[in-house]
Structure 1
Amino acid sequence: MSGCGNEDVSDGKNNVKVYYLNSDETGIIFQEYVVAADMNDTEKVIDELLTQMKTMPEKLEYEAPIYGPVNLLSYSLRNDILTLDFANTYTTTKKTTEILDRAAMVRTLTQIPGVEYVTFTVEGAPLLDGNGNMIGNMAADNFVYNAGNEINAYEKAELVLYFATEDGQELVPVYRTVVYNSNILMQRLVIEQVISGPNTDLAYPTINPQTKINSVSVRDGVCYVDFDSVVNIRTNDMDPKIALYSLVNTICETADVNKVQISINGSSDVNFMEKISLGTVFERNLDIVRQ
């Protein structure tokens, strides 16, 4: 392994990043690693990277994420979901450390071809967050990572995100824990999470995943969001009202925001998904949230 890099890119097809905790357990950091196994042999690559994450690196400022109470019992791969099963001691880990351990493992393992999501269980039972909600499948973008040396700038956040019900007529809240760089505006973070989708079979995406955010700002309790035109391309014939309020309700869950102004390529003189005029400021709508 080489020293810590500062760009989140890999040069060769066998080059990956193995993520660790920093010694203060305040953030994650990575080392470049060249996988010895054939990258097409998914199970061998999984075994190799798990071994790396169980081994304390020589660098004193790095801590292995699978160590001590984080005792991995077994894993299984089905379709593109990798399930890691841990001993009961996993639940004794300090919450912030647990989130960082999880971030390191998910970001490392989802680099493997054939692994899109990672889910955690504890002696066969789904892992729950601090509110008793099942965490479910996790992708790399559950753990927002800004490359660089600001390893002390990471924070944990419990997000409430709104996605569609199966019939597309209501919204349901999805609770997600993320580790993110505190230099990111919280409102931008939650919008990115809505665009990325629910990562659960109990809710359905509302916004086209190819949508780009042009800008986000907050002033006097109003969040101003500007998207590119892809936001107007519906996902699965989504009801525009449901799609719109998945954004508005989610943004209004963040601190200091109670209204949302949406624009597309700098203009609010347009209709959202050809149906709803954006020439107004929107407030939270709980009438369409399934209780």
Structure 2
Amino acid sequence: MVTEMSKLKKRFSCAVILVVMLLLAACGREEQPQAGTAYKIYYVNNDETKIINQQYFTESTDTEILFEELTGQLQTKSEKMEYQAPLAEDFSILGHVLDSGLLTVDFDEKYKELWGIREILIRAAIVRTLVQIPDVERITFTVVGEPLVDGSGTAVGIMTADTFIENAGNEINAYEKVDLRLYFANEEGNLLVEESQRNVVYNSNIAMEKLVVEKLIEGPKAEGSYPTINPTTKIISVTVKDGICYVNLDEAFQNQPYNVTSDVTIYSITNSLVELPNVNKVQISIKGESNISYRENVSLNNVFERNLDLLFTGQSQ
């Protein structure tokens, strides 16, 4: 009987020791924090309804190395086939150029075979991944050197992180198309040229007034139209109350790199916004301050209304 008790005690002691060893081993296997900076690599889900992301850590800080690493991750397929890698398609990147925060990525002709929501999702995954590179602020796509166009033949243009807005479930919101009537400068920079941009794809989460200002900053698409606003201008806010659209821009708006008059810039914004049914007048401010002058010759302490006198009619004025 004593012998049996001794055996039981030994077995119990061994079991306790084994449990302690397992607990210690588990503690030793606790996941160590990964070194480097965390980036989100975006992929397309298998249903092709949204983009999802996986974390990727790297200690690289060089812009070119980061581009190669992140595009490499965008080519890596999921071992469990949980999602689709956006760059694991038939098309290839021919090259890229980074200039003053604008990253231009050039693809081969195969990119044109993408269409519909699939193309938008792949583009969203690429843009949202690469725009995380510290020196990259904006991205544009070209195909064999030519600007990427959508199904209607309209140039896609410059994209940012805000171009593809996600909700809490990481699903891209529904996209809509809208026709915009915008006003840019003529070649001399002293008159306004009307430009219709058809089938502009935008996210329904973006206010139409903000979309108009974004497109003005982005610049014209049509030949014969010229930009009116410094492309480095950042939008602080765009709101509408009682028919007045309040546009608040940062200080870069004061710096005009183009040969256009102050009136043309002001009414490029005003006339474009007043085309919207809910806007009658426009108030422009710089960092929230309107009691100043734009380029020292146009007071912003005014509410601006549509100005048809500046419209270019095709005849010399």
1:103 equivalent in alignment to 2:121: no
**TM-score, normalised relative to structure 1:** 0.68
Distance 2:153 2:44 in 1: 25
Asked if structure 2 preserves the Cα contact closer than 8 Å seen for 1:28 and 1:104, the reply is yes
How many angstroms does 1:57 deviate by? Answer: 3.7
For 1:104, give the aligned amino acid.
Answer: A
What corresponds to 2:208 in structure 1? 186
| Higher RCO, Cα 8 Å, sep 6+ | 1
Asked if structure 1 preserves the Cα contact closer than 8 Å seen for 2:282 and 2:303, the reply is yes
Which of 163, 177, 185 does residue 143 from structure 1 map onto? 163
Which of 134, 159, 173 does residue 153 from structure 1 map onto? 173
What corresponds to 1:74 in structure 2? 93
Alpha-carbon distance change, 52 to 171 in structure 1, aligned in 2, over 3 angstroms:
farther
What corresponds to 1:213 in structure 2? 236
1:247 equivalent in alignment to 2:269: yes
Distance 1:31 1:285 in 2: 52
Distance 1:34 1:114 in 2: 18
How many angstroms does 1:110 deviate by? Answer: 3.1
How many angstroms does 1:247 deviate by? Answer: 1.5
What corresponds to 1:3 in structure 2? none
What corresponds to 1:65 in structure 2? 86
Distance 2:235 2:138 in 1: 23
For 1:110, give the aligned amino acid.
Answer: V
For 1:91, give the aligned amino acid.
Answer: K
Q: Structure 2: which 5+ residue stretches go unaligned?
A: 1-33
List per-residue Cα deviations over 1:117-163 (Å, max 9, x = no partner).
54434455442233324445x34257153564362524244564544
Distance 2:246 2:123 in 1: 31
Alpha-carbon distance change, 79 to 226 in structure 1, aligned in 2, over 3 angstroms:
closer
What corresponds to 1:283 in structure 2? 306
Q: Structure 1: which 5+ residue stretches go unaligned?
A: 1-10
Which of 85, 91, 108 does residue 86 from structure 1 map onto? 108
For 2:94, give the aligned amino acid.
Answer: Y
Asked if structure 1 preserves the Cα contact closer than 8 Å seen for 2:292 and 2:301, the reply is yes
List per-residue Cα deviations over 1:7-48 (Å, max 9, x = no partner).
xxxx98643222233455444443322236x33161x43333
How many angstroms does 1:76 deviate by? Answer: 1.4
What corresponds to 2:61 in structure 1? 39
What corresponds to 1:168 in structure 2? 189
- Compare the two structures and name the one with the higher helix fraction: 2
Where 1:283 maps in the other structure, the secondary structure is coil
For 2:119, give the aligned amino acid.
Answer: E
Distance 2:155 2:275 in 1: 20
Distance 2:237 2:93 in 1: 43
Distance 2:245 2:173 in 1: 25
Larger Rg: 2
Where 2:141 maps in the other structure, the secondary structure is strand
Alpha-carbon distance change, 87 to 231 in structure 1, aligned in 2, over 3 angstroms:
closer
Asked if structure 2 preserves the Cα contact closer than 8 Å seen for 1:225 and 1:262, the reply is yes
For 2:97, give the aligned amino acid.
Answer: R
1:52 equivalent in alignment to 2:73: yes
Percent of paired sites with the same residue: 27
Q: Please, which moves more after superposition, 223-232 or 240-249?
A: 223-232
Asked if structure 2 preserves the Cα contact closer than 8 Å seen for 1:163 and 1:206, the reply is no
